[in-house]
Structure 1
Amino acid sequence: MSNVEAICPPDLSANQFRFSVEHMMDAAPAVLYRLWTEQFDRWFATPGTLLMKPEINVPFFWEVQHEGNRYPHYGRFLKLQPDRLVEMTWLTGPTGTKGAETVVTVELEPVGTGTRLRLTHAGFIDQESRDGHELAWPAILAHLNEQLQPPF
């Protein structure tokens, strides 16, 4: 567990739109932790666009290319507890978080040979942004689970 404190954590009090989803994953927490902190381009980011270090307060960037459009994503890690918790800011453009610095919290709980992943996404400026992400995350987590093939 890191004892580094995040600088300038987002104040989400004015942006109270949030949701949580859970998904059973077919991998151990250690594998998922690595995918969320070092290997985003194995399952989410467009390969070759990931700039990320698993360190609190270090900015990161990646983009997603979809249907001919690019969707840049920016953020930084706020909390890291190996194999248990990843908390990061998540900032995208007009079709995503609309420039709001939202917070994604990923909790990893071992269950048998797999993991219960609970994702909470908070700090949306409006219901439209929240609803779009609430609809997308279950499909993204299902895609992540499909990608769980060695080597990691």
Structure 2
Amino acid sequence: MNQTVKPDTQGIVVEEIFPHAPEVIWKALTNGELIGRWLMAPTGFEAVVGNRFTFQTTPAGRWDGTIHCEVLEVAPNERLSYAWKGGHDSNVGYGAPLETVVTFSLSRAETGTRLRLVHSGFVLPANETAYRKMSEGWKKVVANLDRIAGEEASSKQLH
């Protein structure tokens, strides 16, 4: 019996409503300096489809900690999506090969902006460690994003 079994994939979904306009959230999602304040400092980021950039995180085993990204979709004030790849074939657990996609969707809400973050494509069980850690991590990152967006909105009002 020779059956091809499709690997089980999981996605992380975090939804939040921010008391800020979509334009304020968009700026925090697409400005390299601001991204560095709520996520990690990107190298070479531009919100242009096809642009390749990296993040640097803690290395593990033969993985140097570099997360390779490519912008897949840009719809100003509505949607930003990028590939998120990292890891090394020899690693198990933290630093195992990871080929996923991060998508931020924005929509107007009565009290501001609804953000829906989806980090999809985790192959289980190979990516179980990343899936668990990032499920918790993205919740903190989204809270940081709210804080940074709020600081940006406040500084605009002061000028």
For Structure 1 versus Structure 2, the TM-score category normalised by the shorter chain is 0.7 to 0.9
Task: Tell me the residue number matched to 2:107.
Answer: 109
1:53-72 equivalence runs, <5 A: 53-64=46-57, 71-72=65-66
Task: Tell me the residue number matched to 1:3.
Answer: none
**Between Structure 1 and Structure 2, which shows a larger proportion of helix residues?**
2
Unaligned runs of 5+ in 1: 1-12
Extract structure 1 runs of 4+ deviating beyond 4 A.
94-97
Whole-Å Cα distance in 2 between the matches of residues 97 and 103 of structure 1?
16
Unaligned runs of 5+ in 2: 1-5, 59-63
Say whether the 8 Å CA contact 2:94–2:129 is kept in structure 1.
no
TM-score (norm: length of structure 2):
0.71
Task: Tell me the residue number matched to 1:5.
Answer: none
Q: 2:123 aligns with which of 122, 125, 150?
A: 125
Task: Tell me the residue number matched to 1:92.
Answer: 86
Say whether the 8 Å CA contact 1:52–1:59 is kept in structure 2.
yes
- Cα distance change, pair 44–14 in 1 and its aligned pair in 2 (3 A): same
TM-score (norm: length of structure 1):
0.74
Q: How many residues align?
A: 134
Root-mean-square deviation (CA, aligned residues, Å) is 2.5
What is the Cα deviation at residue 41 of structure 1? 1.8
Larger Rg: 2
1:43-58 equivalence runs, <5 A: 43-46=38-41, 50-58=43-51
Deviates more, 1:107-116 or 1:37-46: 37-46
What is the Cα deviation at residue 125 of structure 1? 2.2
